[in-house]
Amino acid sequence: MVIELKSVLIVFASRFGSTDEIAHEIAEELEKHEIITEMLNLKDGESTPSLDEFDGILVGSGVKMGRWTKEAFSFLKQNHNSLNNKVLGLFVSSGEAANPKTHDGARNNYLEKIMERTGGKADMAEAFGGIFDLSSNSNYSFLEKKIILRLAKSVKEGIIMQEGKVNDFRNWQLIRNWATDFANLVKTYKKK
Ligand SMILES: Cc1cc2nc3c(=O)[nH]c(=O)nc-3n(C[C@H](O)[C@H](O)[C@H](O)COP(=O)(O)O)c2cc1C
């Protein structure tokens, strides 16, 4: 029996660490499904491995003031032709995705529109809820604190947002399920 091993490159860029942790959780889940994973943290400035070697590529970014990280956005834009020949998944960690009421807007702004602007056509794309660190010892700058407080005010209706606390809206089960679906898609992929 020939066992065909599949591989996935997880490319990500995170400003405050949330997307980084999501990327690692996804990698763990893919490995459970016997997929070989490699991580590429674009904020580390490592060189990009040959994309030809992978069956699937995941690209993840955090969102700040309506924008992806410039590193993840450029990666998708520059490589969209090669990426579109593989199983492509996109994910973001977004404050707006934390609330079911604003989730669809986040999907549209931070995934659909990003695909239009970069030419990347994803087979799977999801906006995962992110972190609102409202604690006094957050790593945000003075200005970032003001912005996150304003954003928290605008999305808090109907969800529990605690002042002065780290509010982590990442749903790990949802993230693992999404990774499992991606693994299944990669397993059925035939190289073009
Ligand atoms: C200064 C600042 C601006 C933000 N702007 C947005 C925004 O425009 N839309 C959004 O959905 N989330 C926004 N967020 C929430 C982040 O998307 C959330 O914290 C996410 O988990 C960050 O991911 P990262 O840690 O990987 O960068 C903002 C957060 C900060 C601190």
**37 alpha carbon – ligand 1 mean position (Å):** 26
Is residue 150 domain-resident?
Answer: no
Residue from 96, 102, 133, 151 whose mutation best tests the ligand 1 pocket (most atoms within 8 A of CB): 151
Is residue 144 domain-resident?
Answer: no
The enclosing H or E element of 103 equals helix 100-107
**59 alpha carbon – ligand 1 mean position (Å):** 17
Is residue 136 domain-resident?
Answer: no
**42 alpha carbon – ligand 1 mean position (Å):** 18
The pLDDT assigned to 114 comes to: 98
Residue 190 banded pLDDT, cuts 50, 70, 90: confident
User: pLDDT tens, 92-116?
Assistant: 999 999 999 999 999 999 999 999 9
Average pLDDT, the chain: 96
User: pLDDT tens, 6-44?
Assistant: 999 999 999 999 999 999 999 999 999 999 999 999 999
Is residue 14 domain-resident?
Answer: yes
Is residue 122 domain-resident?
Answer: yes
Please give the Cα distance from 108 to 104 (Å, whole number). 6
Please give the Cα distance from 39 to 41 (Å, whole number). 6
**What is the residue range of 36's domain?**
7-131+168-187
Q: Residues with Cβ within 6 A of ligand 1?
A: 14-19, 62-66, 93-96, 106, 130-131, 140, 144, 147-148, 151
Close Cβ partners of 4 (under 8 Å, ≥ 6 residues apart)? none
Please give the Cα distance from 23 to 88 (Å, whole number). 14
Is residue 96 domain-resident?
Answer: yes
Please give the Cα distance from 108 to 96 (Å, whole number). 11
Sign of CA dihedral 156, 24, 75, 34: negative
Residue 192 banded pLDDT, cuts 50, 70, 90: low
The pLDDT assigned to 130 comes to: 98
Is residue 47 domain-resident?
Answer: yes
Predicted confidence (pLDDT) at residue 2 exceeds the cutoff of 80: no
Q: Residue 16: give its domain's CATH number.
A: 3.40.50.360
User: pLDDT tens, 78-93?
Assistant: 999 999 999 999 999 9
Please give the Cα distance from 120 to 29 (Å, whole number). 24
The pLDDT assigned to 177 comes to: 98
Number of domains making up the chain: 1
**36 alpha carbon – ligand 1 mean position (Å):** 30
Is residue 21 domain-resident?
Answer: yes
